[in-house]
């Protein structure tokens, strides 16, 4: 089976386009203690996908296929795993990943209003990216910083005690 990326609108063949990234991912998978038993090798799939996503930013079909080939799995198995876990994404994400926590503590303290405010301000829905590729809006379930609820994470930075009024400030802070 050949890579189908070329036929898919809007997705470049990342594996060919970035040989140095391909080399990094390949070196990582080659360093895993893979054995003879193909079933046991599958146990390395999720961590390989974590690595792939951290290298390429997202997991389009060509990357899935590359990982599938390296671990001698079917593309369908890899796709099944990616579509199951919320951490993995098949579409490119923005430079700033804005994630509003909607865990119970944040919910009780009004996280939904924060989500609405981000939607209104960025003019996108949950899971979408602004057309300029700058912001992606998402929700996540509990970062375990419940004492600071409601919490917003922008990339790795945690903002605590967020109010609707702080939303434009958080967005502006990204621009700087």
Partner 1 sequence: MFIASREALQEYAAKIKGAAAAETKILVSMGTCGIAAGTTPVLEAIREEISARNLQNAIEVVEVGCMGLCHCEPTIAVIDTATGRQIIYGDVSAAQVPQILAAGTDSPAHGTRTVERSWYYPEFEAKPDTAIQAKIVLRNTGRINPERLDEYIGEDGYDALAKALTEMKPEDVIKEITAAGLRGRGGGGFPTGKKWQFAAAQKNDEKFMICNADEGDPGAFMDRAVLEGDPHAVLEAMAIGGYATGAHNGVIYIRAEYPLAVKRLGIAIEQAHEYGLLGKNLFGSGFDFDIEIKYGAGAFVCGEETALIHSIEGMRGEPTFKPPFPAVQGLWKKPTVVNNVETYANVGAIIRNGSDWFRAIGTQGSPGTKVFALAGKVSKVGLVEVPMGTTLRQIIFGLGDGIKDNKQFKAVQTGGPSGGCITTKNLDTPIDYDTLIALGSMMGSGGMIVMDEDDCMVNIARFFLEFTLDESCGKCTPCRVGNRRLYEMLNEICDGRGTMETLDKLKNLALTVKDTALCGLGQTSPNPILSTMANFPDEYLAHIKENRCPAGVCPNLIHYEINDKCVGCTLCARNCPVNCISGERKMKHVIDQDKCIKCGVCFQTCKFHAIEKK
Interface contacts to partner 1, rule CB under 8 A: 39-40, 42-47, 49-50, 77, 80-81, 84-88, 102-105, 107-109, 113, 116-117, 120, 140-149, 151, 156, 158, 160, 164-165
Smallest distance, partner 1 to C-beta of residue 149, A: 7
* Dihedral class, residue 127 (left if φ above 0, else alpha if ψ from -120 to 50, else beta): left
Instruction: Report the C-alpha gap between 5 and 14 in whole angstroms.
Output: 9
Rounded to 10 degrees, the C-alpha dihedral 173/124/18/24 comes to 70
Specify the residue, 44 or 96, whose C-beta has the smaller distance to partner 1: 44
Instruction: Report the C-alpha gap between 71 and 65 in whole angstroms.
Output: 10
Between helix 19-31 and helix 45-56 the angle, nearest 10°, is 160
Smallest distance, partner 1 to C-beta of residue 15, A: 21
Instruction: Report the C-alpha gap between 51 and 58 in whole angstroms.
Output: 10
Smallest distance, partner 1 to C-beta of residue 16, A: 26
Specify the residue, 8 or 74, whose C-beta has the smaller distance to partner 1: 74
Specify the residue, 25 or 117, whose C-beta has the smaller distance to partner 1: 117
Specify the residue, 13 or 73, whose C-beta has the smaller distance to partner 1: 73
Smallest distance, partner 1 to C-beta of residue 73, A: 8
Rg (CA), the chain: 19
Specify the residue, 49 or 98, whose C-beta has the smaller distance to partner 1: 49
Instruction: Report the C-alpha gap between 118 and 172 in whole angstroms.
Output: 12
Smallest distance, partner 1 to C-beta of residue 158, A: 4
């Amino acid at each position: 089976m050949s890579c189908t990326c070329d036929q898919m609108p809007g997705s470049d063949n990342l594996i060919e386009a970035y040989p140095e990234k391909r080399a990094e991912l390949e070196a990582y998978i080659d360093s895993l203690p893979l054995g003879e038993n193909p079933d046991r090798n599958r146990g390395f799939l999720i961590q390989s996908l974590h690595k792939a996503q951290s290298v390429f930013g997202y997991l389009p079909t060509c990357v899935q296929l590359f990982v599938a080939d390296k671990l001698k799995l079917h593309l369908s198995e890899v796709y099944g795993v990616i579509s199951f876990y919320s951490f993995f994404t098949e579409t490119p994400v923005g430079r700033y990943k804005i994630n509003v926590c909607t865990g119970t503590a944040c919910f009780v303290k009004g996280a939904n209003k924060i989500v609405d405010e981000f939607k209104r301000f960025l003019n996108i829905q949950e899971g979408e990216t602004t057309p300029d590729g700058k912001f992606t809006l998402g929700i996540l379930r509990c970062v375990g910083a419940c004492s600071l609820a409601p919490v917003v994470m922008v990339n790795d930075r945690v903002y605590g005690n967020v109010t609707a009024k702080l939303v434009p400030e958080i967005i502006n802070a990204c621009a700087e």
